[in-house]
Structure 1
Amino acid sequence: MIVRHLEKGYPEHPVLKGLSFQADPGEFIAIVGASGSGKTTLLRCLTLQEAWNKGEYIFDGHNVLEGGPLAKWKVRRQWVSLQESTGLSPKKTAIESVLEARWSHMPLWRKIIRKSSMDEHVYSNDFLEKVGLLDKGHEKVEKLSGGEKQRVALARALIQEKKFIAADDPIKGLDPASVNRVMEDFRNVAKREKVLLVCAMQQLDLAERFATRIIGLSDGRIVLDVPARKLTTREKDLIL
């Protein structure tokens, strides 16, 4: 992914001001910054939920913004967004939630009869295992903790063979143990599955501990772009 000179805003209210960066498969990038710095707007632009005012967007070697509706639809199929609300059906089990995300890859006749194969069930279990939830496969979503729901949502994204996962504050409201597990899964999955994972968040300490790269925003501009590590006081002052 290559972003060049991204600008987004409204009359007399610029939000993103000429952002440029490159992001590669396997990276877990934490987008950090104070409230109103442009983190969510950046994610929405990267997933084409917001139109760009200006800029160039290269994904998989193609200029996304120059493509027509069909081209944009095709590239969107390689992306998924994770948010605080997972959108999972509370009455379905974890395995059913992951399995239903696999329908687009199944043969037409299976879609018609709405019946998955044993291989697909095994495959879905594999992805639950990747996020440490194999033992929760037959639990209904409504019985899962907030952190477990986020990990089911992550398994759904992976089984769809997505290349880019955008997560907007997905750990908000989770208990500390769940936060740590979700963040560990994000880092491990990005590295192991060669997925680009970009997460907008405010917690600098979590970005330092779990991300592979930190991009700091302030007033709609990139003021920091470093490999993840303990930030200096000066670097934190740039962001907050």
Structure 2
Amino acid sequence: MMKVERLTLSVEGNTKEVLHGITTQFKQGEMIGLVGPSGGGKSTLLRCLALRDPWTGGDYSWDGKKIISGGGKGSQKYRSKCAYLEQNPSLNPEKSALKNVLIGQVGQTSWIRRMTGMVRSDDYMGAMDELEKFGLLDKAHVKAGKLSGGERQRVAICRALVHGADFIAADEPVIGLDPKSAENVLGTLQELCKNKGKTVIAALPIELAERYCTRIWGLVDGKIELDVTGRRLTESEKRSIDLI
């Protein structure tokens, strides 16, 4: 169980609040769709929950253990358990899919591995196993710059799993993808929740959140104004979060 209490984030010299005292909780195996109007704070919330940005205030606990208290962005131990998937995955275009998986994200991998690229044989096999599971084994030695958008997102997901992520925050992971690629990416995330007990929170278009997610949050002006089981939203619910 992950529990958030009074999450606040201020910018511009701590004078302007972007997130306003958010309190919520979520658990292992959930896939939560984050919806709402542009500029409502979705990307910021995801980065805070994935321990990529510091909090101005609030508490964050996992299974009863506080990992943030009163601000900050948590310890390296917990940051390594979180993955943040950007709209355009931050892969090195000149390195192969395999090497991108092995090197990992900042916050997930030690600086020694990131500088030297040295890996153990067990890590190598683990990376190849994950690539195979997601239909990317034939792309293992292809440079990331030559992969399609959907393939790059799945490489980023493999990277998260290889480096031990239990929680994945995905910021519009299917934007710009064709329908089939989007379906592959969201199907992959859905499978991780159902079969591996991972927790995913993804900023998505409302129709995809309704289709793939077990729960939907509606974020407006830095506040969660809607929190319902994943289903088709009513017209009044869409109106409450400025989507009509």
Question: Do they superpose with TM above 0.5?
Answer: yes
> Is the CA contact (8 Å cut-off) linking 1:7 and 1:19 kept in structure 2?
yes
Higher normalized helix content (fraction of residues): 1
> Is the CA contact (8 Å cut-off) linking 1:2 and 1:21 kept in structure 2?
yes
SS of equivalent to 2:160: helix
Query: Which residue of 2 is the match for residue 34 of structure 1?
Result: 37
Instruction: From the superposition, tell whether residues 112 and 12 of structure 1 become closer, same or farther in structure 2 (CA, over 3 Å).
Output: closer
Instruction: From the superposition, tell whether residues 9 and 113 of structure 1 become closer, same or farther in structure 2 (CA, over 3 Å).
Output: closer
> Is the CA contact (8 Å cut-off) linking 2:68 and 2:74 kept in structure 1?
no
Q: 1:220 aligns with which of 219, 222, 238?
A: 222
Instruction: From the superposition, tell whether residues 67 and 14 of structure 1 become closer, same or farther in structure 2 (CA, over 3 Å).
Output: closer
SS of equivalent to 1:229: coil
Alignment of 1:181 with 2:181, yes or no, is no
- TM-score, normalised via structure 2 length: 0.85
Q: 1:191 aligns with which of 191, 194, 198?
A: 194
> Is the CA contact (8 Å cut-off) linking 2:9 and 2:18 kept in structure 1?
yes
Query: Which residue of 1 is the match for residue 76 of structure 2?
Result: 73
Shifted more, 10-19 versus 126-135: the winner is: 10-19
Query: How far apart are the structure 2 equivalents of 1:144 and 1:217?
Result: 33
- TM-score, normalised via structure 1 length: 0.86
Residue correspondences, number: 234
Q: 2:210 aligns with which of 208, 225, 237?
A: 208
SS of equivalent to 1:65: strand
The 5-angstrom pairing of residues 73-92 of structure 1 reads: 73-92=76-95
> Is the CA contact (8 Å cut-off) linking 2:51 and 2:74 kept in structure 1?
no
Shifted more, 208-217 versus 192-201: the winner is: 192-201
Query: Which residue of 2 is the match for residue 231 of structure 1?
Result: 233
Deviation at 1:211, TM superposition (A): 1.4
> Is the CA contact (8 Å cut-off) linking 1:26 and 1:194 kept in structure 2?
yes
Aligned-partner residue type, residue 44 of structure 1: R
Q: 1:114 aligns with which of 108, 113, 118?
A: 118
Instruction: From the superposition, tell whether residues 152 and 54 of structure 1 become closer, same or farther in structure 2 (CA, over 3 Å).
Output: same
> Is the CA contact (8 Å cut-off) linking 1:163 and 1:195 kept in structure 2?
yes
Aligned-partner residue type, residue 191 of structure 2: N
Unaligned 5+ residue runs, structure 1?
none
Aligned-partner residue type, residue 2 of structure 1: K
Q: Deviations over 1:83-103 (max 9, x none)?
A: 022121222222232233499
Alignment of 1:3 with 2:7, yes or no, is no
SS of equivalent to 1:138: coil
Measured on the aligned residues, the alpha-carbon RMSD in Å equals: 2.8
Q: Deviations over 1:27-86 (max 9, x none)?
A: 111111101211112112223333333322112422122399896222212112110221
